[in-house]
Chains A and B, each alone.
Chain A
């Protein structure tokens, strides 16, 4: 989709094996400048390892990485000036205030916004003299992102930026990402929230077991399901597979928990057919629900598992 030269981030054949797990197992990515790119996958899919290799914090066992057209080895000093990041979990100095932390991080960079500007941008100005240890989870996370923005980076890496945050804090962080992008910034983020990926990202790579299993815009990925709706139902006892396969307008079905999940075009046709099949089979309907197809369904259809099945 992008050639190497115009890529903000590019990697090919990326591999990182740990003794017990293949964290990244041959990953190719090309992220354009100005793009917001999401790595979506369940816990343990290799998202953090991947993003940390791209951030130059972990060395890959194999593969090439280029960031802003440069390799990490030999260009680390230059690249560190031009990227910003928030690690999945960093506990900043608890005894320092928000302002002190930002001043400290600001001192590392040649240029960038002032701590005052950043605090205003991230709605931290009321907390400027509060100790980091006293901040809420959302405020800490915003401070963490502020530390990523303090050098006025070209690329912002965010590893699970909203995990564990309340809905309002998530919205605030999404705003920050949107504002960064509006100024031409490139964003690479990992998440296991499909709504976050769907809302923020231009393109999404779905990864599982360190491999890329799907890549595209959220709309493309959902379209790849070839169905706009998903029906989930459970019966007592389980409905035989032959009955499920015969239900009209469907584009596939999988076992899902105690029951079945079907991707269908038309709820109006499929749902009555499901109920009829259940009656015919002599089983008893326990639950039935429907929803519009989402990225979660893309993941389930690709892997047979849910994104958050932990």
Chain B
């Protein structure tokens, strides 16, 4: 009967249609990542570094010090009477207090990085005013090149996070929804092959993955000038591998959950560590060395590393092969385990 498509195609097409008719899903897949990119992009946009507020304890020499310290581009000095100065330092409204006549006294909390910076800047300004000359000539070169800004780091991470989120939600939510509505039970009462149903979840996922990635990349290209330095084809392959990993995980997570609440909880348990550890918003290099091999084995870390490698560094396929392998392994293993333990009723 050639007028009917094979079941896996029909299942995929109907799943895509269902998805596209779901207004909320469209927002979470397409709208939300754009809003997130926009918000974070503006929050971390290029601008002069914030000046650090510091306090000068009121004394006869305070006005003069205010003038000297105001010349530093890194400091925002203000004069406080002694009692108020105590208060603003303790509550963190200023990072440093400058006081004393003759000997300059810096009061600050040495565990706060901004306090240490303020101490150095303030000292520099006061020493220079007092006549210090630097024996070693230096020149600052500020980094604003494309590819090395925070937004260039952030966008591949957001893309990875979005591929994870929508992949797991679209599969997990849909499967559990079909289970609670007894649609799964109805489907297995037909000759439909169970693997066709689950494969269709993944194939449909690929359909809107394409739209989702293109939307975010085009948007950030025009709004923030984020470019793809490597191969687009390779980028596509990485996204497909990522989708495979997270569709598989989605199926595994949804394989036995009976309610939407249960699957939501499981999703969060699985995704939360990856949001934090996999280098979405900040590099996982900050974690202890002992933890890094485990972090690198997470599918989102592999996806983010591969996306960053291709987008910012323009790495070749051979260089991201380990990450592709990690993602495919996650996808295949979790799909097979999910299929094995799947609860159809």
Whether B18 contacts A107 by the Cβ 8 Å rule is no
Could you give, for residues 183-224 of chain B, a 1 whenever the CB lies within 8 Å of some chain A CB and a 0 otherwise?
101101111100000000000000000000000000000000
Complex CA gap A55/B4 in Å reads: 26
Whether A95 contacts B17 by the Cβ 8 Å rule is yes
Is B11 on the interface with A (CB-CB < 8 A)? yes
Complex CA gap A123/B1 in Å reads: 25
Q: Give the Cβ gap from A111 to chain B, nearest Cβ, in Å.
A: 7
Whether A90 contacts B185 by the Cβ 8 Å rule is yes
Q: Give the Cβ gap from B342 to chain A, nearest Cβ, in Å.
A: 15
Is A147 on the interface with B (CB-CB < 8 A)? yes
Interface residues of A in 165-183 (CB under 8 A from B): none
Across the interface, B186 reaches (CB within 8 A) one of A92, A95, A109, A151, namely: A92
Is A91 on the interface with B (CB-CB < 8 A)? yes
Is A57 on the interface with B (CB-CB < 8 A)? yes
With A90-B182, A92-B183 known as contacts, the answer to whether A105 contacts B17 (CB < 8 A) is no
Across the interface, B191 reaches (CB within 8 A) one of A57, A85, A103, A151, namely: A151
With A100-B14, A107-B6 known as contacts, the answer to whether A95 contacts B182 (CB < 8 A) is no
Contacts of B18 in A (CB 8 A): 93, 95-96
Q: Give the Cβ gap from A51 to chain B, nearest Cβ, in Å.
A: 11
With A95-B17, A96-B18, A107-B6 known as contacts, the answer to whether A90 contacts B191 (CB < 8 A) is no
Q: Identify which of A89, A106, A107, A111 gathers the most chain B CB atoms within 10 Å of its CB.
A: A107
Could you give, for residues 82-106 of chain A, a 1 whenever the CB lies within 8 Å of some chain B CB and a 0 otherwise?
0001010111110110001101111
Is B283 on the interface with A (CB-CB < 8 A)? no
Whether A95 contacts B4 by the Cβ 8 Å rule is no
Contacts of A106 in B (CB 8 A): 4
Across the interface, A57 reaches (CB within 8 A) one of B1, B5, B14, B185, namely: B185
Q: Give the Cβ gap from A201 to chain B, nearest Cβ, in Å.
A: 22
Whether A80 contacts B189 by the Cβ 8 Å rule is yes
Is B22 on the interface with A (CB-CB < 8 A)? yes
Size category, A interface: 20 to 34
Interface residues of A in 59-86 (CB under 8 A from B): 77, 80-81, 85
With A91-B181, A96-B14, A96-B18 known as contacts, the answer to whether A108 contacts B188 (CB < 8 A) is no
Contacts of A105 in B (CB 8 A): 190
Whether B190 contacts A80 by the Cβ 8 Å rule is yes
Contacts of B312 in A (CB 8 A): none
Is A110 on the interface with B (CB-CB < 8 A)? yes
Q: Give the Cβ gap from B60 to chain A, nearest Cβ, in Å.
A: 77
Q: Give the Cβ gap from A89 to chain B, nearest Cβ, in Å.
A: 6
Whether B189 contacts A57 by the Cβ 8 Å rule is yes
Whether A104 contacts B10 by the Cβ 8 Å rule is yes
Q: Give the Cβ gap from A110 to chain B, nearest Cβ, in Å.
A: 7
Question: Which residue in chain A gives the minimum CB-CB distance to B181?
Answer: A91
Whether B17 contacts A103 by the Cβ 8 Å rule is no
Complex CA gap A110/B4 in Å reads: 10
Q: Give the Cβ gap from B292 to chain A, nearest Cβ, in Å.
A: 44
Contacts of B189 in A (CB 8 A): 55-57, 80, 85, 87
Whether A104 contacts B186 by the Cβ 8 Å rule is no
Complex CA gap A103/B1 in Å reads: 12
Across the interface, A91 reaches (CB within 8 A) one of B7, B9, B17, B183, namely: B183
Contacts of B192 in A (CB 8 A): 108
Contacts of B345 in A (CB 8 A): 57
Q: Give the Cβ gap from A72 to chain B, nearest Cβ, in Å.
A: 12
Across the interface, A95 reaches (CB within 8 A) one of B5, B10, B22, B181, namely: B22
Across the interface, B14 reaches (CB within 8 A) one of A77, A90, A104, A151, namely: A104
Complex CA gap A80/B183 in Å reads: 16
Whether B191 contacts A95 by the Cβ 8 Å rule is no
Contacts of A111 in B (CB 8 A): 1
Contacts of A92 in B (CB 8 A): 183, 186
Across the interface, A93 reaches (CB within 8 A) one of B14, B185, B188, B191, namely: B14
Question: Which residue in chain A gives the minimum CB-CB distance to B186?
Answer: A90
Is B47 on the interface with A (CB-CB < 8 A)? no
Could you give, for residues 1-29 of chain B, a 1 whenever the CB lies within 8 Å of some chain A CB and a 0 otherwise?
10011110111001001100110000000
Contacts of A89 in B (CB 8 A): 182
Contacts of B186 in A (CB 8 A): 87, 90, 92, 147
Complex CA gap A111/B2 in Å reads: 11
Q: Give the Cβ gap from B118 to chain A, nearest Cβ, in Å.
A: 58
**Residue positions of A touching B, CB distance < 8 A:** 55-57, 77, 80-81, 85, 87, 89-93, 95-96, 100-101, 103-111, 131, 147, 151
7 interchain pairs (CB within 8 A)? A57-B189, A81-B191, A90-B183, A91-B183, A92-B186, A95-B21, A108-B7
15 further A-B contacts with Cβ under 8 Å, apart from A80-B189, A108-B192, are: A55-B189, A77-B191, A80-B191, A81-B191, A85-B189, A90-B182, A90-B183, A95-B17, A100-B14, A103-B4, A107-B5, A108-B190, A108-B191, A110-B1, A151-B190
**Residue positions of B touching A, CB distance < 8 A:** 1, 4-7, 9-11, 14, 17-18, 21-22, 181-183, 185-186, 188-192, 345
Per CB-CB distance, the 7 closest pairs between chain A and chain B, nearest first, are A91-B181, A107-B10, A80-B191, A108-B190, A95-B21, A108-B192, A90-B186
